């Protein structure tokens, strides 16, 4: 009990590095073991040999450990892991009743927008897509429509817009709805939306939480585990079988243990890259909340006190052809779709989404990794020359 109390008072960095103090009780191993069994034996009287092990769908110790680590990192009462970020989002959206109302932040991750549009059409749910980082727009939409759920992404992808979580929570909850915040671009070590009033925080754990581009996973956390919404999400995950495998949970936990250190380096690199790009004559604009020129910089400082994340976008002066030429010349930055990994990535977002979300043809999105900053800036300097 004393050890547990001591761990509960430890800094998030220490808890993550030590996987919440996990020790294999059979061997003393400091790395939690993988249990690959999907089912568990019973005694002769048919009682469970282990009360917490019936079937792997909900009885995986590594999944439980991963949930515990991330829930503590978010200062949350409870957390649930899913096999992907979209599986987590889908579980949240399915709590909205038929003919209900959802407010969705516009110009966010295209995968979220596309799935929610299709889902709402099937369920006859009213969907309002608005810019939630604009408090007046958000307030007017909530008051007029009294949504069941408001879903925001902050920082947003690829526009790096910052939504005022406290304001959004107050407005949503006053109207009887729930606020869900996608905090993937920040990660739990940079921002904790529940602390600002959100009802649920969501992460694509595939990104920075894993950090090595080798695991698909999603995560939800809440401070009200007894709410009807959270109970419905937990039941949906169990009954629909949207669970994470043991090996994936093991890899995820391994990645988490270096998250604070990785994020510190990525934030440092991203800031230097953003400042370099802001001063470059061939760059029209840089979208990064860490820059004082960002319109929501002060709000970002409040909501992300430990850094501004690895994600940034910039607009090349010129056309799609000019932006694509820059991407083609990059060598240290790899042309691939994702963010938050140790390796730096570049994406011409318009080539991926087309005209679906209004992303400019000259926008380039970067996910800045942990490489040496001289190599990253040198690569960009050469590509922009």
CB-based contact 43:49 (threshold 8 Å): yes
3-state helix vs strand vs coil in the chain, percent to 5: 40, 15, 45
With beta carbons less than 8 A apart as the criterion, state whether 308 and 190 touch.
yes
* DSSP code of residue 371: S
Per annotation, catalytic residue among 148, 182, 199, 379: 182
Q: How far is CA 45 from CA 37, 41, 48, 56, in A?
A: 22, 11, 9, 21
Q: Is 182 a catalytic residue?
A: yes
CA 321, distance to chain mean position in Å, is 31
The closest of 146, 148, 144 to 98, measured between CA atoms, is: 148
CA–CA distances in Å: residue 44 to residues 29, 41, 47, 50, 59: 31, 10, 7, 13, 21
Catalytic site residue from 57, 167, 302, 329: 57
Given 207, 262, 265, 365, the catalytic residue: 207
C-alpha to C-alpha distances, 200 to 155, 221, 300, nearest whole angstrom: 16, 6, 19
User: Active site includes 46?
Assistant: no
Active site residue 57: yes
Concerning whether 207 is annotated as a catalytic residue, the answer is yes
Structure tokens at 341: 């990994």
CA distance 243 to 237: 7
Catalytic residue among 15, 60, 61, 109: 109
273 burial via Cβ count (<10 Å: 0-12, 13-18, 19+): buried
CB hemisphere CA count around 315 (13 angstroms): 12
Distance, in Å, from the CA atom of 83 to the CA atom of 332, rounded to the nearest integer, reads 30
Element (H, E) at 110: helix 110-123
Q: Write out the catalytic residue numbers.
A: 57, 109, 182, 207
């Amino acid at each position: 009990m004393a050890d547990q109390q001591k761990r509960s008072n430890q800094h998030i960095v220490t808890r993550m590095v030590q996987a919440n103090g996990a020790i294999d009780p059979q061997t003393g191993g400091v790395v939690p073991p993988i249990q690959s069994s999907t089912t568990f034996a019973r005694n002769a009287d048919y009682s469970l040999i282990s009360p917490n092990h019936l079937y792997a769908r909900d009885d995986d110790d590594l999944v439980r450990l991963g949930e515990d680590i991330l829930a503590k990192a978010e200062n949350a009462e409870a957390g649930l892991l899913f096999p992907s970020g979209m599986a987590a989002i889908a579980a949240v959206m399915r709590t909205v009743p038929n003919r209900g109302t959802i407010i969705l932040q516009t110009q966010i991750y295209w995968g979220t927008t596309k799935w929610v549009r299709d889902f709402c059409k099937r369920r006859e749910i009213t969907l309002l897509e608005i810019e939630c980082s604009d408090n007046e727009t958000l307030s007017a939409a909530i008051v007029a429509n009294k949504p069941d759920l408001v879903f925001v992404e902050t920082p947003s992808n690829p526009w790096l817009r910052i939504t005022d979580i406290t304001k959004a929570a107050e407005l949503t909850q006053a109207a009887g709805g729930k606020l869900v915040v996608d905090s993937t671009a920040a990660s739990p070590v940079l921002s904790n939306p529940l602390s600002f009033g959100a009802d649920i925080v969501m992460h694509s754990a595939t990104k920075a939480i894993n950090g090595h581009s080798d695991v698909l996973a999603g995560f939800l956390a809440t401070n009200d585990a007894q709410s009807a919404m959270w109970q419905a999400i937990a039941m949906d995950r169990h009954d629909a079988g949207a669970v994470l495998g043991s090996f994936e949970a093991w890899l995820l936990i391994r990645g988490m243990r270096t998250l604070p250190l990785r994020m510190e380096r990525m934030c440092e690199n991203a800031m230097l890259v953003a400042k370099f790009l802001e001063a470059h004559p061939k760059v029209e604009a840089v979208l990064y909340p860490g820059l004082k020129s960002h319109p929501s910089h002060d709000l970002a400082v409040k909501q992300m006190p430990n850094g501004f994340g690895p994600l940034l976008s910039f607009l090349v002066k010129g056309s799609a052809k000019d932006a694509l030429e820059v991407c083609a010349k990059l060598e240290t930055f790899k042309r691939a779709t994702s963010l938050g990994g140790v390796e730096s990535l570049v994406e011409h977002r318009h080539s991926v989404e087309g005209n679906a979300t209004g992303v400019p043809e000259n926008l380039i999105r970067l996910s800045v990794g942990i490489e040496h900053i001289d190599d990253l800036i040198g690569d960009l300097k050469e590509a922009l020359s």
